[in-house]
Amino acid sequence: MEDLVRLWEIPETSENYMIAGWEQWADAGEISSGLPSYLIELVGAERIGKIRPDGFYFFQVPGTHHLLRPQIKLSQGHRESMSSHDNDLYHATVNGKGLSLFIGEEPHQNEERYAEAFLDMVEAVNAKRVIIVGGVYGAMPYDKDREVSCVYSLPRMKPELDQYAVRYSNYEGGSTIGSYLAHHAEFRGIEMVVFHGFAPAYEFSQMGLTVQAMRVEEDWKAWLDIMRRVDYMLGLGLDLSDLEERSSSLISAWRDKIDELEQKHPDLHIKEYIESVGHDFVERSFIPLDSAWDVLGDMLGEEDQD
């Protein structure tokens, strides 16, 4: 393992998994940067390691000014704080299983070296499977289950993944950090799944609105829909009730916002536009097999009573 990876604790649990996200390009709804941080707090994970930032980040690029530079705060000429490029690993035991949570910053360069360091870390903590989460924006119903796309590292994984109500990606273009890592994971025989949730975004510029676009900044509904799949897949038994409440509140807030816009601009038919977005949308709801049997049992029980 290269010196880029620093671990000061190795999980002692025999069955270990990892969930990872980044400050990255594909971070719609803060799925990639926000969800792992939320999970760290949810399970009380403690920091056990990191990838050193050596050689992965630009200090400056002409024309970017301060965009890439570390941010400093000075007081009377002395440094109070200095930002850094963090790639940290946390760990917790969840119902007897080891759960590692990685939150990092997408590298600017030397991506192959970064990928090797990340996979070294995966192997060092003996993670059986890695789940990478990300998000993309799209025009879709705000009050429906989010579409979840899937990329995976090993061909033998597909029959299992078929049960998770995902859309397999056929994307062509610049690679996300997740797809790039899944590519490299295959050569090491590492099981890696990349879930991208689609967060709602609406473009109103052609309608003459001063607010030209609306999008979900923290898409708790997407976080929930992804975690329902991940929790079932890894058998973690996480308490997702808080995410369920946040998801319901998000949908209610968006419904109120759209009602408000409709009242202010009735001539623009905003509700009609939102409804048209969902006209051809096919909702892929994930219902775990055991939950499906529960629902079926309830239905049969109601028929018996009738």
User: For residue range 143-157, what is the model confidence (pLDDT) as tens digits?
Assistant: 999 999 999 999 999
User: Is 80 exceeded by the pLDDT of residue 301?
Assistant: no
For residue 75, is it within any domain? no
Predicted pLDDT at 133: 98
For residue 68, is it within any domain? no
Whole-angstrom Cα distance, residue 109 to residue 54? 11
CATH of residue 251: 3.40.50.10900
Predicted pLDDT at 293: 45
- Higher local confidence (pLDDT), 209 or 145: 145
Predicted TM-score (pTM) of the model is 0.89
Whole-angstrom Cα distance, residue 280 to residue 37? 34
- Residue 11 has phi, psi (to 5 degrees) of -55, 135
User: Is 60 exceeded by the pLDDT of residue 304?
Assistant: no
For residue 125, is it within any domain? yes
For residue 71, is it within any domain? no
For residue 293, is it within any domain? yes
Predicted pLDDT at 272: 86
- Higher local confidence (pLDDT), 303 or 170: 170
For residue 130, is it within any domain? yes
| The two structure tokens encoding residue 104 | 């990092």
Residue 274's H or E segment, with its range, is helix 270-277
For residue 194, is it within any domain? yes
User: Is 90 exceeded by the pLDDT of residue 94?
Assistant: yes
Domain range enclosing 166: 5-62+81-305
Average pLDDT of span 218-234 = 98
Predicted pLDDT at 20: 98
* Amino acid type, 58: F
Are 72 and 81 contacting, i.e. CB atoms less than 8 angstroms apart?
yes
Give the CA distances from residue 281 to residues 32, 142, 143, 271, 278, in Å, rounded to whole numbers and listed in that order: 24, 11, 12, 16, 5
What's the pLDDT tens digit per position in 112-122? 999 999 999 99
- Higher local confidence (pLDDT), 110 or 210: 110
For residue 229, is it within any domain? yes
Predicted pLDDT at 85: 85
| Residue where the block lists tokens 């990340």 | 118
Provide the domain count of the chain: 1
The model's confidence at residue 192, banded by pLDDT at 50, 70 and 90, is very high
Predicted pLDDT at 57: 85
Are 176 and 183 contacting, i.e. CB atoms less than 8 angstroms apart?
no
List Cβ<8 Å contacts ≥24 apart for 255-259.
Answer: 255/142, 255/143, 257/214
Q: Which of 138-142, 157-161, 243-247 has the lowest mean pLDDT?
A: 138-142
Average pLDDT of span 75-98 = 90
- Higher local confidence (pLDDT), 212 or 50: 50
SS3 101: strand
Q: Which of 95-104, 241-250, 277-286 has the lowest mean pLDDT?
A: 277-286
Q: Produce one character per residue of 91-122: b if its CB has 16 or more CB atoms within 10 Å, e if not.
A: bbebeebbbbbbbbbbbeeebeebbbbbbbbb
User: Is 60 exceeded by the pLDDT of residue 302?
Assistant: no
Average pLDDT of span 138-146 = 93
Residue 51's DSSP bridge partners are 5
What's the pLDDT tens digit per position in 230-267? 999 999 999 999 999 999 999 999 999 989 988 988 88
Q: CB-hemisphere CA count at 13 Å for 121?
A: 32
Would you say how long the chain is, in residues?
306
